């Protein structure tokens, strides 16, 4: 039997809405899901539970967390202000068609306390997101 004494790393779902509807998605995220997004209050409660469980860091996923960029920045701040570092944010890069916009978003997230992305580039996402967008975002990350 596997015994878990504490949680060392976790994931926080920002939302369930996504610009893609990948067949492999465990959470059935899609454009058809509601626009709901994790609130600051809920994020604070989650951070408290994570600390109590001994969690040392998290990643942020969804849905697509960048669908509400201001909410994403608030989420990162709430987590980091509560002592929960953000290892990375998952994204399909739908939003990265403009290099200057991408640079601005990356700067704001870095100021808030997150400095790494997990960019989805696979056959599932490629059905919905042009392959050039995740590649452009990866290049922007490398040059920023």
Strand ranges (E), the chain? 9-13, 57-61, 86-91, 117-119
Q: Compute the distance between CA of residue 90 and CA of residue 116 in angstroms, rounded to an integer.
A: 9
pLDDT band at residue 2, thresholds of 50, 70 and 90? Answer: low
Contacts of 134-143 with CB under 8 Å at 24 or more apart are 134/92, 134/93, 134/96, 136/93, 136/96, 136/97, 136/99, 136/102, 137/91, 137/93, 137/96, 137/102, 140/96, 140/99, 140/102, 140/103, 140/106, 141/106, 141/117
Measured between alpha carbons, how far is 71 from 38 in angstroms, rounded to an integer? 8
CB 56 within 8 A of CB 9: yes
Q: What is the pLDDT of residue 4?
A: 66
Confidence label for 6 from pLDDT (cuts 50, 70 and 90) = confident
The per-residue pLDDT for range 78-137, each reduced to its tens digit, is: 999 999 999 999 999 999 999 999 999 999 999 999 999 999 999 999 999 999 999 999
Q: Which pLDDT tens digit goes with each residue over 31-51? A: 999 999 999 999 999 999 999
Q: Where do the domains of the chain lie?
A: 9-143
- What top-level class would CATH report for the domain 9-143? alpha beta
The model carries a pTM of 0.94
């Amino acid at each position: 039997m596997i015994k878990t004494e504490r949680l060392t790393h976790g994931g926080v779902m920002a939302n369930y809405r996504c610009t893609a509807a990948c067949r492999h998605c465990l959470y059935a995220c899609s454009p058809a899901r509601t626009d709901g997004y994790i609130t600051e209050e809920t994020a604070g409660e989650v951070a408290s539970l994570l600390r109590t469980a001994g969690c040392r860091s998290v990643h942020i996923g969804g849905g697509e967390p960048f669908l509400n960029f201001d909410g994403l920045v608030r989420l990162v701040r709430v987590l980091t202000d509560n002592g929960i570092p953000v290892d990375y944010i998952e994204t399909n890069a739908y939003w990265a068609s403009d290099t200057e916009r991408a640079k601005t978003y990356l700067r704001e997230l870095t100021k808030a306390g997150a400095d790494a992305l997990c960019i989805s580039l696979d056959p599932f996402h490629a059905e919905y997101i042009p392959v050039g967008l995740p590649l452009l975002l990866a290049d922007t990350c490398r040059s920023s």
